[in-house]
């Protein structure tokens, strides 16, 4: 029976998984890519979907279109529930799949840190659905605020609270402020000021960047109207607001949780060793310690470089995808897998219109217009799909010139309910 080509099963079509599939194209293996969605999500632009820049289709690339050009790959839309290392089987909600080599690349999900109410009442920003829900929530708050007669409820509806001062929190805060000032305040007649609040547990924003860039980010956000609070931890989240550790309460209808992620992966036969954020500790070759034919890559894997853990950005995942594909090819040829070696070209974050920060090759700090432009260029380059790239570019140019973002739709294909009881309304 075993006359067929070895089968490589890739679970997760994020940056790492998809790169591995592409690198294994036209090799003597049969590839099966499994994902719960039939598209690849370009996560770095999620915040732009959440703030009306671009439509969700533009950062969601259909996997069947990718695989059409890879004759030795197939796709299975399924949720992987369990990995049986002993029998080499991935159990999904539709079928069980045998593998010869396994690449686990199921990524991360929002980590709510066991804060009471956070998982239930706050919005995450990890999936395309999160992004669309958040956009619709913000728009609904404006729709509601316009015909609200109670001043307190209006202020609650127009207060947007972001928890977490990492890149996602900073990018989102800036994008929300730009959106509100450029588009929403032109379209809605609202009687209260819009408040965007950014809560950071540490004493600076963008902890992964040099301190000068952190200070610059704070100045830029503050100047644009974001209220940044440092050393502030959230104790609980309720439908009407957040309570901080010092007991103060912020009345807010929208809480966006960007304070960290944790590995999100199927259960496995044997317990695998895990590190912080539930990440799986893999060997330096990215293999699971006890299972040399199974690899863990991307946000689910705990990988160190020069003694420091990787932080979970797209370039790390992409390079891991390349390494894991090379290692499987080596195993097929009877050679030993190689150690993963991350080449860090740098990191960048966008703050708002004309303002970004970048830290290149671990030594050069860049900020302002150039860093902003660099960020946009890099992400446009990496965005999959020619027409997506082109549509996103047109959206950006239009937004830049008109300060008006066109996507204002509340589809509500999945209904979200505003988290307060709105009464006493008249018009």
Interface positions with its own copies (CB under 8 A):
32, 37-39, 55-57, 60, 62, 64-65, 68, 74, 76-77, 94-97, 128-129, 132-133, 139, 143-144, 147, 186-189, 387, 391, 394, 398, 406-415, 422, 425-427
52-67: string of b/e by CB count within 10 Å (b at 16+)?
Answer: bbbbbebbbbbbeebb
| CB count in 10 Å sphere of residue 187 | 12
Q: Which two tokens stand for residue 73?
A: 């790959």
Q: DSSP secondary-structure letter at 20?
A: H
Could you tell me the smallest distance in angstroms from the CB atom of residue 424 to its own copies?
10
Yes or no: say if 257 and 50 are a contact pair by the CB < 8 Å rule: no
Considering the complex, state which of residue 363 and residue 426 has its C-beta at the smaller distance from its own copies: 426
Considering the complex, state which of residue 109 and residue 398 has its C-beta at the smaller distance from its own copies: 398
CA nearest to 122, candidates 183, 53, 49, 172: 172
Q: Which of 91, 136, 144, 171 is catalytic?
A: 171
- In sequence order, what DSSP letters do the residues of 57-88 get, joined into one string? GGGEEEHHHHHTT-TTEEEEE--EEEEETTTT
Could you tell me the smallest distance in angstroms from the CB atom of residue 370 to its own copies?
29
Question: Degrees (nearest 5) of the Cα angle 151, 153, 158?
Answer: 95
Considering the complex, state which of residue 136 and residue 316 has its C-beta at the smaller distance from its own copies: 136
Could you tell me the smallest distance in angstroms from the CB atom of residue 147 to its own copies?
6
Considering the complex, state which of residue 144 and residue 171 has its C-beta at the smaller distance from its own copies: 144
Could you tell me the smallest distance in angstroms from the CB atom of residue 397 to its own copies?
12
In the annotation, is 136 catalytic? no
Round to whole Å and give the CA distance between 201 and 374: 29
Considering the complex, state which of residue 57 and residue 116 has its C-beta at the smaller distance from its own copies: 57
Considering the complex, state which of residue 184 and residue 349 has its C-beta at the smaller distance from its own copies: 184
Could you tell me the smallest distance in angstroms from the CB atom of residue 272 to its own copies?
25
376-409: string of b/e by CB count within 10 Å (b at 16+)?
Answer: bebbeeebbbeebbebbeebeeebeeeeebebee
Could you tell me the smallest distance in angstroms from the CB atom of residue 284 to its own copies?
33
Considering the complex, state which of residue 134 and residue 259 has its C-beta at the smaller distance from its own copies: 134
Could you tell me the smallest distance in angstroms from the CB atom of residue 61 to its own copies?
9
225-262: string of b/e by CB count within 10 Å (b at 16+)?
Answer: ebebeeebebbebbebbbbeeeeeebbbbbbbbbbbbb
Yes or no: say if 337 and 324 are a contact pair by the CB < 8 Å rule: no
Helix H or strand E encompassing 360: strand 355-360
Q: Which two tokens stand for residue 378?
A: 């890099």
Which residues on neighbouring strands pair with residue 236, listed in sequence order?
116, 243
Active site residues: 171
């Amino acid at each position: 029976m075993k006359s067929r080509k070895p089968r490589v099963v890739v679970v997760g079509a994020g940056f790492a998984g998809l790169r591995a599939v592409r690198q294994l194209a036209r090799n003597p293996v049969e590839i099966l890519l499994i994902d719960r969605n039939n598209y690849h999500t370009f996560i770095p632009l999620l915040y732009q979907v959440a703030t009306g820049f671009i439509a969700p289709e533009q950062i969601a690339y259909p996997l069947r279109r990718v695989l059409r050009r890879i004759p030795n790959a197939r796709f299975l839309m399924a949720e992987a529930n369990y990995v049986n290392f002993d029998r080499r089987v991935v159990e999904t909600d539709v079928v069980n799949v045998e593998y010869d080599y396994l690449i686990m690349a199921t990524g991360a999900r929002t980590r709510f840190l066991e804060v009471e109410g956070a998982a239930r009442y706050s919005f995450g920003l990890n999936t395309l659905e999160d992004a669309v829900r958040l956009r619709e929530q913000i728009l609904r708050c404006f729709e509601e605020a316009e015909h609200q007669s109670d001043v307190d409820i209006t202020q609650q509806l127009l207060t947007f609270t972001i928890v977490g001062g990492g890149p996602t929190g900073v990018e989102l805060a800036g994008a929300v402020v730009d959106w509100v000032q450029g588009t929403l305040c032109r379209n809605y007649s609202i009687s209260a000021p819009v408040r965007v609040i950014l809560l950071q547990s540490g004493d600076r924003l963008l902890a992964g960047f040099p301190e000068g860039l952190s200070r610059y980010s704070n100045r830029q956000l503050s100047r644009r109207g974001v209220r940044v609070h440092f050393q502030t931890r959230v104790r609980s989240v309720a439908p009407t607001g957040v309570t901080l550790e010092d007991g103060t309460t912020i009345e807010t209808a929208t809480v966006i949780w960007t304070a960290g992620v944790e590995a999100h992966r199927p259960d496995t036969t044997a317990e695998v060793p895990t590190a912080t954020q539930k990440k799986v500790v893999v060997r330096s070759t990215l293999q699971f310690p006890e299972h040399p034919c199974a690899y863990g890559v991307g946000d689910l894997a705990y990988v160190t470089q020069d003694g420091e853990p990787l932080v979970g950005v797209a370039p790390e995942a992409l390079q891991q995808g390349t390494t894991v594909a090379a290692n499987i090819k080596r195993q097929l040829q009877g050679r030993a897998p190689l150690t993963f070696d991350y080449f860090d070209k740098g990191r960048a974050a966008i703050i708002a219109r004309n303002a970004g920060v970048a830290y290149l090759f671990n030594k050069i700090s860049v900020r302002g217009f150039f860093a902003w432009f660099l960020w946009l260029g890099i992400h446009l380059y990496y965005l999959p799909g020619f027409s997506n790239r082109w549509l996103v570019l047109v959206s950006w140019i239009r937004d830049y010139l008109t300060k008006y973002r066109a996507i204002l739709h509340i589809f509500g294909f999945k209904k979200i309910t505003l988290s307060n009881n709105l009464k006493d309304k008249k018009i």
